[in-house]
Structures are given as structure tokens and as C-alpha cells.
Amino acid sequence: MADKRMFIERRPETGDYAVRKPGSERASVVRPTQGAAIDWAQERGGDVLVERVRNTNRAHPDKWRRP
């Protein structure tokens, strides 16, 4: 069974968003906004997980959430 997870990560050096599959070294695609990256991943039927906002008092950083 194929792993259909796709991770949306903000790229700090450029401020845009990368869509990555688990274990990949390179992004599948880079989009200028988080919404555009989520839309792209959902169109391909992936199980989309978005990087949590770093500055939060509700949970630990580096966790993933569903959009």
C-alpha cells in the first residue's frame, strides 16, 4: 500500500511553501501560499498534513495538523 501523506512546510529562506512526500529530499512542488500548496496536494488525493505554527502556547512546535 502506497503512502499518500503529503507534508506542507514553510521554507524560511524564501517564505513560500513546499509539498513533500515522506522521506523525500526534494519538494514535489513549491507554491507561494500555504493555501495553494494545500489545494495542490488535495487535488492529487494525498493525506495532507500542515506544519504547525511555531509560535503557539497550545502545543509543541514541529507537530503536524490537518488543514
Residues paired with 7 in a beta bridge: 20, 49
Predicted confidence (pLDDT) per residue in 21-50, tens digit:
998 999 999 999 999 999 999 999 889 999
The rounded Cα 40 to chain-centroid distance in angstroms is 11
55 band by pLDDT with thresholds 50, 70 and 90: low
Alpha-carbon span 47 to 19, nearest angstrom: 12
Check residue 12 and give its pLDDT: 86
